[in-house]
Amino acid sequence: MTEAINGTNCCRNFRGLRFVILALSTVCLTFGMCGTVVLHMTVICMREETTTNATSFSAPMFSFAEEGWLFSALYLGTLLGTIPIGHLCTLIGFRGTFTAYGILNGLGTVAVPLAVQFLTKPFNFVAIFGARFFQGFYLSMSMVAIETISKNWSTMKEMTLFISILSIHFQLGRIITMPLSGFLCDSSLGWPSVYYFLGIPTLFTFSLFYLFYRETPSQHSWICAAEIERIQPGKMDTSSATRRHRKGFKFLTNWHLLSLFGVGIGIAFGAHTFSLYGPIYLHNSIGLGMHQTGVVVALPFVISIFLSIAVGRICDRLIGTKAALVLLTCVSQYGMAIGYALLAFITPSNPLLIQALYVLIMSLVGLCPIGLVKQARWVDAENAQEINAINTAIFYIIVMLIPEFVTLIIPNPDDQNGRGWNIIFLCIAILQTVSAAISHISIMTKK
């Protein structure tokens, strides 16, 4: 097996290798996502014993503001990790860059419980902040990975399907992490075990990816000639020889691209406010238990997986490009905006309705990255990798600021009346409506 992977065996007789690459890549992306979202759930049960006036009680390990900083650390790492991606992909290739970022993610995941176990305040906070920072590097590669793998390994007819399946790691990561965290936090193993259950497989899967993946189908010794012939037709040549003729960043003067970057702002707020604070909101404001919170948080991502794959097939087979982009980027945001607007006027005394709207909003989130990646290739296929890297940077600048925005408005996260959340929900509803409208105009006016 090792001989075949290293390319010394040239018997090209393995059919469907692109789907093996697709499956392995999706597993890697999923475990990477698990590591980045695990703190959003476990922070609820990260508590320590405190003694005041001879009375012992359990208190949160970190303040609400400190939790916000730990959330932001991830996206600070994402932002800075975006900067060297282009250079690293040129220097060591996409395979090496993606693997390196994934290994950093796995090490960061394992480091969190170790920091709490062996360090005291404030050093444990600093260490976790650093671990979260390096975990963020993985996120900066996720959209680039989706675009690169789908471009290199799918046929033209399967492009949206590949993007859809690769994009479900956003949902799968939470489907695995949230119920697992809820179960283990209530068990004798405690919250630290969640990090080991997720971090160790992350290190293994990314190592396997490096051994098995190749930059192009023709470089892989397990692929058959017939499959190469299926993958290549109709694709633009974006090799390094062609890319040298680009004129710097002049492609950024394209209004449709600039509008695409603006749309990322609305999607960032709509998707990541609940991604970061959904478990806290459901647990503290409407009183769900840890296990129930984990199930409710995971449910919309199960729905989103089937929705993403179904919509991906519809976009590939049944409707035109513009209609597909409107469905993926605009309709999804309009639906999320309606959900947030309704939440702004509902009190915590209606927990079932709140849970239903939460499920609606987060079920639609999975369509957004598919739309962004597909729209980038539609607007400018030659520069799609750079566009996705820039969009990722802008996206996570906004996400990095969300904790500051939330802590500014929410006076007390433990407030059973949920004061302040209605203001946040209304702001997001307005922003997503504007974002969807901009995207809609851009798509319909492009010739």
Q: What is the pLDDT of residues 150-162, one digit of tens each?
A: 888 888 888 878 8
What DSSP element (H or E) covers 49? Answer: strand 47-52
The number of CA neighbours under 13 Å toward the Cβ of 341 is 11
Please give the pLDDT value at position 207. Answer: 96
pLDDT of 111 > 60? The answer is yes
Q: Would you state the pLDDT for residue 403?
A: 83
Q: What is the pLDDT of residue 304?
A: 82
Instruction: List the single range of 218-232, 275-289, 333-347, 374-388 with lowest mean pLDDT.
Output: 374-388
> What is the overall mean pLDDT for the chain?
82
Given 3.40.50.300, 1.10.1740.10, 1.20.1250.20, 1.10.10.10, which CATH number is that of 15-49+60-234+250-445? 1.20.1250.20
Looking at residue 234, its pLDDT comes to: 58
The predicted structure's pLDDT at residue 33: 93
Task: Give the model confidence (pLDDT) of 327-343 as tens digits.
Answer: 888 888 899 999 999 99
The confidence score (pLDDT) of residue 243 equals 46
Confidence of residue 56 (pLDDT cuts 50, 70, 90): low
Q: How far is 414 from 286, CA to CA, in rounded Å? A: 10
Amino acid symbol at 419: R
Kindly state the average pLDDT of the residues 280-297: 81
Question: What mean pLDDT is predicted for residues 309-319?
Answer: 73
Share of the chain above pLDDT 90, in %: 25
How far, in Å, CA of 384 to CA of 149, rounded?
12
Lowest mean per-residue pLDDT among 75-79, 210-214, 256-260, 313-317: 313-317
Mean pLDDT of 379-405: 77
